[in-house]
Amino acid sequence: MEYLGKDIPKLGFGLMRLPLIGEEIDIEQTKQMVDLFLAKGFTYFDTAYGYFNGKSEEAVKTVLVDRYPRESFQLATKLPAWIASSEEEAKKMFETSLRRTGAGYFDFYLMHNISEKRKEAFDKYKIWDYLRELKEKGLVRHIGFSYHDKAALLDKILTELPDVEFVQLQINYADWESDSVESRKCYEVALKHNKPIIIMEPVKGGVLANPGPKINQIFKEANPEASLASWAIRFAASLDNVITVLSGMSNLEQMKDNISYMEHFQPLNDYEREVIRRAQEALKEIPSIPCTSCQYCVKDCPQQINIPFFFVAMNRNLIFGDLKGAKFEYKMAMKFGSEDPAKCIACGNCERVCPQQLKIIDHLKDAVQLLS
Ligand SMILES: NC(=O)c1ccc[n+]([C@@H]2O[C@H](COP(=O)([O-])OP(=O)(O)OC[C@H]3O[C@@H](n4cnc5c(N)ncnc54)[C@H](OP(=O)(O)O)[C@@H]3O)[C@@H](O)[C@H]2O)c1
Ligand code: SF4
Ligand code: SF4
């Protein structure tokens, strides 16, 4: 089937987790990664206005734009309207991205990270109309958005904006059936609207490069040679209608590994699909907080605590043993609109409506104790 980006190689370079020396991007190592990536036939690069406070876009100029013909690669970046305080400020971000990268135009340009809350800013500042204008002027070639919310809202947005050309979704085998991420459901909504998909977070931000002893054993028994990350990236790349799978490779070794199996990419065969299914089943068996992120508890909380956010963070530690990632998610929850769970007054409103009958107050106390 023909679709936008069908011929783009299925491994993209996500420039959100670049190698670092101290706090600074390791430019020399990044140059080596870019050289290898392009030499092996890969072409897609994904950055954003906000990555490394703009230094990712600046690095793109140094490691890529100034060193390779512009038509030899595709470059994507994103506009985070939700950090702007006016329409003018939001629109200026495009010019800043263009200046930082020196790219002249962007192949793929995205509204960055749309969610129920953040959608307001894109609507208020008329960003979609602005992207259409940029496309008409030839400053961007394809317009779309990256998305981190539920499938129902995605369906609504794609219905409201029929000229969206593609969507970027968080998809990995561990979140495929997750009630909080809804990977599969979002993927199916994109298919329903006939939108090609760019996949982000295929390794769940690094967690699936070492998903814990039980899961590691399943994969290593199936194929002792294949890296654990390779299962995650090949799962994503085996889906239909995928433009590319972005991997946030953070050193040359990771890039070499990912290129080794993506250079002559073979979709998962039936046996490998069965192995992934076993890993998914094993993940379900690991004790966790069985919150379905239904949000029923959120609206009557007098303290405006977005309870399910904190349970997602707790589960990251419980299921994958990723305490660092769990603490990061805990912090992010407060940045993205929740009040501090330490402010819980134990009123019990949430527990009265939770369909899973969770001991929310106790779980929140545990979260504060472990992750704050
Ligand atoms: N809203 C948005 O638009 C949005 C949001 C998220 C991501 N993205 C884009 O999508 C890209 C991918 O997502 P992501 O970076 O969040 O997550 P990811 O690709 O799922 O995970 C990246 C991490 O996986 C590990 N990894 C990758 N390949 C490996 C290998 N072969 N062996 C061992 N470990 C390996 C590394 O972890 P360690 O560093 O721990 O070793 C790496 O930092 C980003 O870089 C960014 O460009 C966009
Ligand atoms: S018990 Fe705590 S979390 Fe639950 S509704 Fe009351 S204040 Fe909010
Ligand atoms: S009501 Fe229960 S299951 Fe639903 S989001 Fe809240 S804690 Fe999770």
Q: Which of 262, 251, 291 is nearest to 32 (CA)?
A: 251
**Is residue 54, in this structure, part of any structural domain at all?**
yes
Q: Using 50, 70 and 90 to split pLDDT, how confident is the model at 237? A: very high
In the chain, pLDDT over 90 holds for what percent of residues? 88
> In angstroms, rounded to a whole number, what is the distance separating the alpha carbons of residues 338 and 226?
40
* Amino acid occupying residue 68: Y
Q: Which of 157, 160, 175 is nearest to 293 (CA)?
A: 175
**Is residue 241, in this structure, part of any structural domain at all?**
yes
Q: What angle do CA 80, 332, 191 make, to 5 degrees?
A: 55
Phi, psi of 156 (to 5 degrees): -65, -45
**Is residue 16, in this structure, part of any structural domain at all?**
yes
Same domain, 314 and 267: no
User: Do residues 258 and 190 make contact, with C-beta atoms less than 8 angstroms apart?
Assistant: no
CATH number for the domain including 196? 3.20.20.100
Sign of CA dihedral 273, 275, 281, 286: negative
Same domain, 344 and 217: no
204: left (phi over 0), alpha (psi -120 to 50) or beta: left
Residue showing tokens 């298919």: 191
Q: Which atom of ligand 3 is the closest one to the Cα of 298? A: 6
Going by CA atoms, what residue is nearest to atom 21 of ligand 1? Answer: 205
Same domain, 227 and 355: no
Q: What is the mean pLDDT of residues 278-282?
A: 96
Instruction: Enter the DSSP assignment of 338.
Output: P
Q: Which atom of ligand 1 is the closest one to the Cα of 204? A: 20
Same domain, 316 and 225: no
Q: Report CA(267)–ligand 3 centroid distance (Å).
A: 36
Q: What is the mean pLDDT of residues 48-57?
A: 96
Q: Which ligand is nearest to the CA of 364?
A: 2
The pLDDT tens digits of the residues spanning 131-188 come to 999 999 999 999 999 998 899 999 999 999 999 999 999 999 999 999 888 999 999 9
Q: Which ligand is nearest to the CA of 203?
A: 1
Same domain, 339 and 230: no
By residue range, what is the domain housing residue 174? 11-278
Q: Which atom of ligand 2 is the closest one to the Cα of 351? A: 4
Q: Which atom of ligand 2 is the closest one to the Cα of 297? A: 5
Establish whether residue 314 lines the binding site of ligand 3, counting it when its CB lies within 6 angstroms of any ligand atom. Answer: no
Q: Report CA(316)–ligand 2 centroid distance (Å).
A: 22
Stretch among 54-58, 108-112, 305-309, 332-336 having the lowest mean pLDDT: 332-336
**Is residue 334, in this structure, part of any structural domain at all?**
yes
Helix (H) or strand (E) holding 262: helix 252-262
> In angstroms, rounded to a whole number, what is the distance separating the alpha carbons of residues 160 and 74?
27
Q: Report CA(182)–ligand 3 centroid distance (Å).
A: 15
Same domain, 135 and 251: yes
Q: Using 50, 70 and 90 to split pLDDT, how confident is the model at 291? A: confident
247: left (phi over 0), alpha (psi -120 to 50) or beta: beta
Task: Name the residue of 307, 352, 356 whose CB sits within 8 Å of the most ligand 2 atoms, as the mutation to test its pocket.
Answer: 307
Same domain, 254 and 346: no
Establish whether residue 228 lines the binding site of ligand 3, counting it when its CB lies within 6 angstroms of any ligand atom. Answer: no
**Is residue 286, in this structure, part of any structural domain at all?**
no
Paired tokens of 279: 């890993």
Going by CA atoms, what residue is nearest to atom 2 of ligand 3? Answer: 354
Last residue of a domain, one of 278, 296, 316: 278
Q: Report CA(372)–ligand 2 centroid distance (Å).
A: 17
* Amino acid occupying residue 341: P
Same domain, 226 and 77: yes
Domain count, the chain: 2
Same domain, 106 and 143: yes
CB atoms within 10 A of CB 223: 13
Q: What is the mean pLDDT of residues 304-327?
A: 94
Q: Which of 89, 158, 78 is nearest to 113 (CA)?
A: 78
Q: What is the pTM for the complete model shown?
A: 0.90
Q: Which ligand is nearest to the CA of 367?
A: 2
Phi, psi of 235 (to 5 degrees): -60, -50
Q: Using 50, 70 and 90 to split pLDDT, how confident is the model at 1? A: confident
**Is residue 23, in this structure, part of any structural domain at all?**
yes
Three-state SS letters, 112-161: EEECHHHHHHHHHCCHHHHHHHHHHCCCEEEEEEEECCCHHHHHHHHHHC
Tell me what pLDDT residue 132 has. 98
Q: Which of 194, 261, 201, 270 is nearest to 234 (CA)?
A: 261
Establish whether residue 269 lines the binding site of ligand 3, counting it when its CB lies within 6 angstroms of any ligand atom. Answer: no
Same domain, 252 and 320: no
Last residue of a domain, one of 262, 278, 294: 278
Establish whether residue 349 lines the binding site of ligand 2, counting it when its CB lies within 6 angstroms of any ligand atom. Answer: yes
Query: Per-residue pLDDT for 290 more than 90?
Result: no
Same domain, 102 and 198: yes
Q: Report CA(210)–ligand 1 centroid distance (Å).
A: 13
Same domain, 311 and 194: no
